[in-house]
Amino acid sequence: MKKEIPVQQGRTYEIAVKTLGTSGEGVGRVAEFTVFVPGALPKERVLVAVDEVKKTYARGRIVKILEESPERVAPLCPIYDSCGGCQLQHLSYEEQLRLKRQQVVDAVERIGGLSGIQVLPVLGAKEPWFYRNKMQFPVGRKQGKIVIGCFAKGSHDIIDTRDCRIQKEGNNTIVNVMREIVVRLHIPVYDEDRHTGILRHVVGRIGENGEAMVVLVTATKDLPKAKEITRLLKERVPNLKSVQQNIQTYRNNVILGRETKLLWGRPTIPDGIGRLRFSISARSFFQVNTEQAAVLYEKALEYAGLNGTETVIDAYCGTGTITLFLAQKARRVYGIEVVKPAIEDAKQNARDNCIKNAAFLVGDAAKLMPRLYREEILPDVIVVDPPRAGCAESVLKTFAAMQPSRIVYVSCNPATLARDMAVLETLGYTAKEIQPVDMFPQTAHVECVVLMSREQK
């Protein structure tokens, strides 16, 4: 017999919020039926208007807070309610950390089906504001005015952003200067629906010592008044070192195209994580929170347990940041990455840091690692930092077949981490502990580092 859904669209219900969802929304129930309520917090009673009803859940909005959580705080950002960049500014930072740990615990137990694994308290940021070194804001027109900023929650409606509280101050300067330049010089802005106009995105990067890079993403190969734009940026953006144009002509949501032109200055700016230095280009992947990235990588290095004699494989190495951290204490490290430009960046980063015991290979880890095994390159430790989708089971089986003593799994998604941990458990690897790290304060995201050791038979 089909079970009747106890809520109806357009009706209001009183709901006790029990937990936070993975996107930072409050989660409560009406007659055991799950309702997601953005903006609601655990320990609150809220009156909710239901806007959407699906087979297994509903979504609603707060009409009134009947009982307020003691951890609710006033958001610092004046556009927080409409902007989609942050999800947790209305929650005290201490409680953000506690609930992020709980998110990891819930994923491991419910998705992974694992119990008894120690999940340590989240390593929080010393500075949970103004931490992002990279900004990539869309440009558009709204009610006749030029707008540059974040997308609204769940849409492509651009919210004009002048003082983002999680961006470094240099990026806020860049976006405000560019808005005035676009108005002053009448630069045609991109229309997503019509695929017309020129300026699509403004990308800002702030490196070491506050050095700034501006990348103007255009829908056309030519950028009108490029020299005048550059002159005004040089006059008004402190410590500006690079102005570039990136060309993205396709009608899609990919921000950066393949071609980049240097308009003025240097092609890269320097930045660092821990003791390592990196040259950051317009298209480089680089952690947006360098301070917390150092915390994350040091923990991965600690879990690797290196003494200088080991061979290590970094299976999703990107531009080599974790690989180079590992190389400081390993005998030999092999970084594997399917994206060729990232490997070129990794090789350059190794040269820049005078690291000679790291080798970088382009290709699929599931195919390259068996080749390494045939060449008798046997890893003592495998480190993996996959995309949000996690690892394919074939990749996990490849890891286990090489029989490293330890697997260090770095994850940006507790759900896929828990799934992959369960697979590795069946392949003979037991999780010893999980260390969550708060890389993105004020948002619902949490990173983790897990130490998994091979069971001795």
Architecture of domain 12-67: Beta Barrel (2.40)
DSSP H helices, 73-165, are 93-106
Helices (H), 63-192: 93-106, 169-185
Contact residues for 116 (Cβ-Cβ < 8 A; gap 6+): none
Residue with tokens 């480190």: 383
Res 457: pLDDT = 58
Q: What is the pLDDT of residue 2?
A: 59
Over the stretch 282-314, which tens digit does the pLDDT of each residue have? Answer: 988 889 999 999 999 999 999 999 999 999 999
Same fold, 12-67 and 101-126+289-454: no
**The pLDDT value given to residue 285:** 85
Give the type of residue at 348: Q
Using the structure block, give the residue that is written with the tokens 């003791």.
275
Q: Which pLDDT tens digit goes with each residue over 180-236?
A: 999 999 999 999 989 999 999 999 999 999 999 999 999 999 999 999 999 999 999
CB 75 within 8 A of CB 68: no
Residue indicated by tokens 């009409």: 63
Q: Domain segments of the chain: what residues?
A: 12-67, 101-126+289-454, 134-275
As its CATH architecture, domain 134-275 has Beta Barrel (2.40)
Cβ–Cβ under 8 Å, residues 406 and 340: no
Residue 438: C-alpha distances to residues 42, 323, 446 (Å): 20, 21, 5
Task: Give the C-alpha distances (Å, rounded to integers) separating 434 from 121, 184, 416.
Answer: 9, 52, 14
Q: Give the pLDDT of residue 77.
A: 95
* SS3 state of residue 418: helix
pLDDT in tens, the chain (457 residues): 557 899 999 999 999 999 999 999 999 999 999 999 999 999 999 999 999 999 999 999 999 999 999 999 999 999 999 998 999 999 999 999 999 999 999 999 999 999 999 999 999 999 999 999 999 999 999 999 999 999 998 888 999 999 999 999 999 999 999 999 999 999 999 999 899 999 999 999 999 999 999 999 999 999 999 999 999 999 999 999 999 999 999 999 999 999 999 999 999 999 999 999 999 999 888 899 999 999 999 999 999 999 999 999 999 998 899 999 999 999 999 999 998 888 998 999 999 999 999 999 999 988 898 889 889 889 999 999 999 999 999 999 999 999 999 999 999 999 999 999 999 999 999 998 999 999 999 999 999 999 999 987 5
Give the Cα separation of 181 and 274 in Å (integer).
37
pLDDT of residue 456: 73
284-321 burial, b if ≥16 CB within 10 A, otherwise e? bebbbbbebbbbbbbbbbebbebeeebbbbbbbbbbbb
Q: What is the pTM of this model?
A: 0.93
CATH topology of domain 101-126+289-454: Rossmann fold (3.40.50)
Q: Which residues are catalytic?
A: 412
State the pLDDT at residue 432.
87
**Length reported for the chain:** 457
Work out the number of other CB atoms within 10 angstroms of the CB of residue 139.
Answer: 25
Angle of CA points 446, 448, 450, to nearest 5°: 165
